[in-house]
Amino acid sequence: MRLKALTAILIAGITFAGVAAAQERRLPTQPELRLSYSPVVQHVAPAVVNVYAAKMVQNRNPLLDDPIFRRFFGVPGGGGNQLQRSLGSGVIIDAAGLVVTNNHVIEGADEVKVSLADKREFEATLVLKDPRTDLAVLRIKNGREKFPVLDFADSDALQVGDVVLAIGNPFGVGQTVTHGIVSALARTQVGISDYRFFIQTDAAINPGNSGGALVDLTGKLIGINTAIFSRSGGSQGVGFAIPANMVRVVVASAKTGGSAVVRPWLGAKLQAVTAEIADSMGLKRPTGALVANVNANSPAARAGLKAGDLIVSVDGQDVDDPNAFDYRFATKSLGGSARLGLLRAGREQTATVALQSAPEMPREEIVIRSRSPFSGVKIANLSPALADELQLQNVDQGVAIVDVDSGSYASNLGFQRGDVIEEVNGERIAKTRDLERLTSTPNRSWRIIILRGGQKISAVFSG
């Protein structure tokens, strides 16, 4: 017994001595002292800008909309205006002065300014915004200067553990650089935008970093910092960036003069694979994008896709869920084709899908201003293209709400972007002009049927 105890003590002593030797203090050598990210920062920093957005908002009490209230209290209509400002970051991606940032940084802005790293400030105009990716492209109002730019990296080549730098203007304190690693890839469960496929990093990202650069150690842009996961409002080591390959698609549309990003259209509804579905299909794990139904005359239909097919790859790149498929498919260039890897009845197959845009038709966008429950909504004629943009399933005809003015009567009643207006006072709404005509006549009662999330909602409002 004593021998065993003595042996244990000796082993512990030897182990302790080894750790002590490994932790022996010494002066770092001169080369070790000179290790720095400074060369990368010096290359990148001039192309990262601060973005200042301002808009006027009306301060008004909903009671001011009631003429009886205004007359009784002698209060004039309307209300005071207040200037709201937002602060974010951006990245110059073209020497002519194109800047990419987050859409939520400049959303609704009446005035946008860009401040360079050297403190010079320029006005900027909006070239293109893409709410589906939460990206926007600005142009600096100075056509005579060549600005420093960042080149795109291939974000699909990233690996977990790669060292990255985040550059932006957190809290408005000025340009700041933080470093960390790629802590996860293909984060698809983050509900920030329609295309959920984010780079996760532990580089410190805080309010004001939105729209800033996430770069690799070669100084190339691998992502646009967009959001953080935080319970305190500050960085907790979980930040998310839009991959550079998606940013590249939006920028390409802006450079060609497009007012909107046009992407390939599949024409099929996809759903996630649950554990129960995986068991019923004989899968080892729940993965892939399951085809729920296929639109007639769509690229998916012409490629031979059927309900029940399981999409597992796009051009050889694995697809774990519908969000991953959306990203892979949306970053393909129009005009070619994509090869989908499928499982059909347990057998591996492939299908070649044409990369073409969804059919469009005149949207005839109208803002309803007349006194009705729809006061403050912007409506448009539905088409496959608009249905795809609004992420509507099994509906591509009729009239949809594409925007709702903040603080409007319609907003207070709960109407939302993506609502499809089916019927008003017993009359079917087929075109935007139908709703415009119906709402131009005052009415004491409004019986409305809308389609939201695949569910019909009926409501009655008093005029």
Note whether residue 340 is domain-resident: yes
Per-residue confidence (pLDDT) for residue 106, from 0 to 100: 87
Q: Does 89 reside within a domain?
A: yes
**For residue 2, is it within any domain?**
no
Separation in Å, CA 55 to CA 88, 120, 350, 371: 14, 22, 50, 26
The Cα–Cα gap between 379 and 396 comes to 14
221: domain CATH number is 2.40.10.10
Residue 43 bears catalytic tag: no
Rounded distance, CA 457 to CA 463, Å?
A: 19
Are 135 and 112 within one domain? Answer: yes
pLDDT at 339: 96
- Rounded to an integer, what distance in angstroms lies between the CA atom of residue 225 and that of residue 240? 6
Which CATH number characterizes residue 350's domain?
2.30.42.10
Identify the CA nearest to 253 among candidates 461, 98, 376, 104.
Answer: 98
List the pLDDT tens digit at each of the 463 positions of the chain: 444 443 333 333 333 344 444 557 777 777 766 778 888 999 999 999 999 888 755 555 554 555 544 444 454 555 556 556 768 899 999 999 999 999 988 887 888 999 898 889 999 999 999 888 889 999 998 767 899 999 999 998 999 989 999 998 887 777 888 988 988 887 766 655 666 788 888 888 887 888 889 999 999 999 999 877 656 566 666 888 999 999 999 999 898 887 788 889 998 889 999 999 988 888 888 999 999 989 888 999 999 999 999 999 999 999 988 888 988 998 898 889 999 999 998 899 999 999 998 888 888 899 998 888 899 999 999 888 888 888 787 777 789 999 898 888 888 888 998 899 999 998 999 999 999 998 888 888 899 999 988 788 888 887 6
- What is the reported pLDDT for 398? 87
Phi/psi for 67 (5° steps) reads -60, -30
Q: Among all chains, which residue has been given the structure tokens 């608009």?
A: 386
Both 202 and 294 in one domain: the answer is no
Of the candidates 105, 140, 175, which is a domain's last residue? 140
Pair 190, 168 in one domain: yes
Find the catalytic residue in 130, 134, 216, 321. Answer: 134
For residue 133, tell me if it sits in a domain.
yes
Query: In this predicted structure, what is the pLDDT of residue 10?
Result: 34
Query: Annotated catalytic residue: which of 89, 104, 372, 383?
Result: 104
Structure tokens at 59: 């301060």
**Residue 7 belongs to some domain of the structure:** no
8 Å CB contact between 281 and 346: yes
Among residues 197, 213, 187, 238, which one has the least CA distance to residue 330? 197
Q: Is 162 a catalytic residue?
A: no
4 in any annotated domain: no
| Cβ–Cβ < 8 Å for 216, 237 | no
Q: How many domains does the chain have?
A: 4
Residue 6 lies in a domain: no
Structure tokens at 307: 């309900």
Structural domain ending residue among the three candidates 354, 382, 406: 354
Beta strands 268-272; 310-314: pairing state: unpaired
Residues in a beta bridge with 463: none
Choosing from 354, 388, 415, the residue where a domain stops is 354
375 within 8 A of 62, measured Cβ to Cβ: no
Nearest Cα to Cα of residue 421 among 438, 406, 409 = 438
**Residue 344 near residue 396, CB atoms below 8 Å:** no
Tokens of 174: 């000025």
Would residue 104 show up in a list of annotated catalytic residues for this protein?
yes
pLDDT score for 257: 81
Contact call for residues 373 and 442 (beta carbons, < 8 A): no
Residue 145 lies in a domain: no
* Alpha-carbon span 352 to 444, nearest angstrom: 55
- Structural domain span for residue 330: 268-354
- Judge if 349 and 281 occupy the same domain: yes
Query: Three-state SS string across the chain, please?
Result: CHHHHHHHHHHHHHHHHHHHHHCCCCCCCHHHHCCCCHHHHHHHHHHEEEEEEEEEEECCCHHHHCHHHHHHHCCCCCCCEEEEEEEEEEEEEECCCEEEEEHHHHCCCCEEEEECCCCCEEEEEEEEEECCCCEEEEEECCCCCCCCCCCECCHHHCCCCCEEEEEECHHHCCCEEEEEEEEEEEECCCCCCCCCCEEEECCCCCCCCCCCEEECCCCCEEEEEEEECCCCCCCCCCEEEEEHHHHHHHHHHHHCCCCCCCCCCCCEEEEECCHHHHHHHCCCCCCCEEEEEECCCCHHHHCCCCCCCEEEEECCEECCCHHHHHHHHHCCCCCCEEEEEEEECCEEEEEEEECCCCCCCCCCCEECCCCCCCCCEEEEECCHHHHHHCCCCCCCCCEEEEEECCCCHHHHHCCCCCCEEEEECCEECCCHHHHHHHHCCCCCEEEEEEEECCEEEEEEEEC
Q: Which member of 115, 210, 298, 375 is catalytic?
A: 210
Q: What angle do CA 139, 128, 268 make, to 5 degrees?
A: 155
The answer to whether residues 159 and 249 belong to one domain is: yes
